[in-house]
Amino acid sequence: MPIRCTAVLTVLLALAAPAFAQDRGTLNPKPLPPLANPDDPSTPAKALFGRATTPAALPSQSIGGYARGCVAGAEALPIDGDTWQVMRLSRNRNWGHPRLVAFLEKLAADAPRKAGWAGLLVGDMSQPRGGPMLTGHASHQLGLDADIWLTPMPDRRLSRAEREEMSATNVVRPDRRDIDPSVWRPEHLRLIRMVSREHEVARIFVNPAIKRALCREAGSDRGWLTKVRPIYGHNYHFHIRLECPAGDAACHDQDPPPSGDGCGSELDYWFTDAILNPKPRPPGKPRPPMTLAGLPDACRTVLKAR
Q: What is the pLDDT of residues 266-286, one digit of tens each?
A: 999 999 999 999 999 888 888
Q: In the structure, what pLDDT confidence band is assigned to residue 23 with cuts at 50, 70 and 90?
A: confident
Strand partners, 148: 122, 238
Predicted confidence at residue 8, as pLDDT, reads 33
Q: In the structure, what pLDDT confidence band is assigned to residue 7 with cuts at 50, 70 and 90?
A: very low
Residue 241 has pLDDT above 60, yes or no: yes
Residue 163 has pLDDT above 50, yes or no: yes
Averaged over 132-160, what is the pLDDT? 96
Q: In the structure, what pLDDT confidence band is assigned to residue 20 with cuts at 50, 70 and 90?
A: low
Amino acid at 139: S
CB of 243 closer than 8 Å to CB of 202:
yes
CB of 267 closer than 8 Å to CB of 215:
yes
Predicted confidence at residue 284, as pLDDT, reads 86
> pLDDT digit string (tens) for 116-137?
999 999 999 999 999 999 988 8
E strands, the chain, where?
61-65, 68-72, 75-76, 80-81, 84-86, 95-96, 120-122, 145-149, 201-206, 228-230, 237-242
The region, left, alpha or beta by phi > 0 then psi within -120 to 50, assigned to residue 270 is alpha
Nearest in space to 91 (alpha carbons), one of 148, 53, 57: 53
Nearest in space to 184 (alpha carbons), one of 154, 217, 159, 160: 217
Choosing among 1.10.10.10, 2.60.120.380, 3.50.50.60, 3.30.1380.10, the CATH entry for 45-276+290-304 is: 3.30.1380.10
State pTM to two decimals: 0.92
User: In the chain, what are the domain boundaries?
Assistant: 45-276+290-304
Averaged over 196-211, what is the pLDDT? 98
